[in-house]
Amino acid sequence: MEPFRGLKLLRNIARNKWMAVVATFFIMATAGATYSFGLYSQKMKTTLGYSQKTISTIALFKDLGAKVGLVSGLIYDVTGPWVVLGMGAVLNTLGFLMIWLALTRRISAPQIWQMCLYIFLGTNSQSFTNTGVVVTCVKNFPNNRGFLIGLLKGFVGLSGAILTMAYEAIYGTKDPANFVLLLTWLPPSVCLLFMFFVRRTTPSGEDQARVEKRIAYVFFVISVSLAMYLMVIIIVKNLDGVVIPRWVIQLLAVVMLVIILLPLGVVLKQELQGWKGGTVAQEQHPDYVRTDEQQQEQRQGKELEEVPAKGLEEGPSEVENLVDKRKNWSLRRIVHAILTRPPRGEDYTIPEGIFSIDMLLIFVCTTCGFGTGLAVYDNLGQIGDSLRYSHEQVGTFVQLLSIWNFLGRVTIGLVSDIFLQKFQVPRPFFFALTLGLSALGQLFLALNFKSALFMSSILIGFGYGAQLVLMYILTSEFFGLKYYGTLYNVCNMASPLGSYVFSVKIAGELYDKEALKQQNSGGDHHGLLCYGARCYRRSFIISTATCVFGVLVALGLTLRTRKFCKELALKLRKRR
């Protein structure tokens, strides 16, 4: 008997591959807690009596938690997206709940190592979330991976502004501890609500790449509209003499929620169009999701086709021996892999990818970009306080960083795709370009002219977001997708390394030294508090020079991979 038509429609919507993408948008829109550290770091410093170096150390473990994704990558390769997303939700609640209890003095003041552990657990949820959604979408849409990675990571970049708006609407802006409370329940709730829509599907053929691109463009327009909407609110809030009542903020937050939900309407419209003339044949539906049994049969068929004739004649033992040899990585084989790597674009094994020169150059570029960018993100509360900005103004700069972080993420995938396909411009060139923007932003902060923090928030936010997406795209294009979940997390380790160097050892220590000078000179300061442009000037000069060095490394990677990028551009043209 034919199932009830409405229930079957709902089932098809739930299994629609674009519904999986929309679900990832919702999850990622609240998954950027690491970019909001500036909102509550000053509260943590004054409440618990920490020095700036201690705050920078805690920020290091925040970045370490967000970027250490090797465990989540390995779990994903074995289990799939639902397990890693569920684990991420649990870690998020556990970590930020303990931080909130400490900031509100509901528990005794934790030791520094305990606070580092709490924030590591809370932000490590982001690596699980990233792995669960990004790897799934890349494998489902290999022909449009650059654009979709940009959209997905763009929502993470925008989440700082989204969470800040939600915080102001729900709790107001009086106590930053309430923002930590928001992080305790909102991101895991959204993740648990939508994670079962995130599923692996059969990748579309190259003939459907145009259709995929058109739908992705609609999502792009919606996401940019959301960013522009938040940007207008930020500009109005910072006009002299303008005070927005809380009920207006709540109304604006509702409008923001409606815009976020618009992609869901796109999926519903697409599915309903297929039902206008009756039930669509499942196998012919462009968004049909094959069952697990069908996917298994398809994989088995492809594996049989790929086994060489010689392997079939000699029996399965020969094939198994080849697999065993490939997995047996002695020191000699690792050295051999370094010297004789596979061609770019093929599926690298994990040791081959880790020990390749391309991976080293990408790692250096990301260390320069992520390290200097995170030094600003992690110290934004203290930067604003040293320059006599209010807590509300610091919140504005957090939102500004998030919005331009988002714009960098969503535009760089599209722009680099266009320039690669039409003009054969290698993607690493855009890495050099965005590092140049970051260097300019760091220089503005060092000079500290009027509106320097405003301009730097735009440049550094855009550059950081673009560099993150480029790292994801380059890793997938250079080393293949077979071990992508693990290899891109190797590159992610550049983030905590850069955070340790630039945020802890440079920005944190130089700030404390300047604070001690002011205290010893008779300044009216309590604890290790520093005021004035001198607090971070030397840090920003060092960061500027580092970004310039990163530009040179990225240009070297551009020259090294220009032949491969030209070949890739020709392949992408044929697919279009």
Q: Which DSSP string corresponds to 228-272?
A: HHHHHHHHHHTSTT----HHHHHHHHHHHHHHHHHHHHHHHHHHH
**DSSP of 157-206, one letter per residue?**
HHHHHHHHHHHHHHT-SS-THHHHHHHHHHHHHHHHHHGGG----PPPPG
Residue whose C-alpha is closest to residue 99's, from 86, 112, 89: 112
C-alpha–C-alpha distance, residues 389 and 214, integer Å: 44
509 and 436 in a common domain: yes
Specify if 1 maps to a domain: no
Predicted model pTM: 0.71
214 and 67 in a common domain: yes
420 and 560 in a common domain: yes
Tens of pLDDT along the chain (576 residues) come to 455 566 666 677 677 778 888 898 899 999 878 778 878 888 898 888 888 788 888 988 987 888 777 788 778 878 888 999 999 999 999 999 999 999 999 999 899 999 999 999 999 898 899 888 888 887 787 766 667 777 887 788 788 889 989 998 998 767 889 999 999 999 999 999 999 888 877 766 555 666 677 787 888 889 889 989 988 888 888 776 778 888 999 999 999 999 999 998 888 877 776 665 444 444 444 444 444 444 444 444 444 344 444 433 444 443 344 344 444 555 666 566 555 677 888 888 888 888 889 999 999 999 999 999 988 988 887 888 888 887 777 777 877 888 888 888 888 878 888 888 888 899 999 999 999 999 999 999 998 877 788 889 899 999 998 998 899 889 988 998 788 877 877 888 888 888 889 988 898 888 888 888 887 765 544 456 788 888 899 999 999 999 999 999 999 999 999 998 888 888 777 665
What CATH code is carried by the domain that includes residue 209? 1.20.1250.20
The count of domains in the chain is 2
386 and 508 in a common domain: yes
353 and 322 in a common domain: no
326 and 417 in a common domain: no
Specify if 300 maps to a domain: no
C-alpha–C-alpha distance, residues 439 and 210, integer Å: 37
Specify if 138 maps to a domain: yes
60 and 154 in a common domain: yes
257 and 322 in a common domain: no
Residue-range definition of the domain harbouring residue 327: 309-333
262 and 322 in a common domain: no
The single-letter DSSP state of residue 507 is I
Specify if 303 maps to a domain: no
Specify if 286 maps to a domain: no
Specify if 290 maps to a domain: no
321 and 400 in a common domain: no
465 and 544 in a common domain: yes
Contacts of 400 (CB under 8 A, 6+ apart): 234, 454, 457, 458, 461
Specify if 282 maps to a domain: no
Would you call 104 helix, strand, or coil by DSSP? coil
Specify if 20 maps to a domain: yes
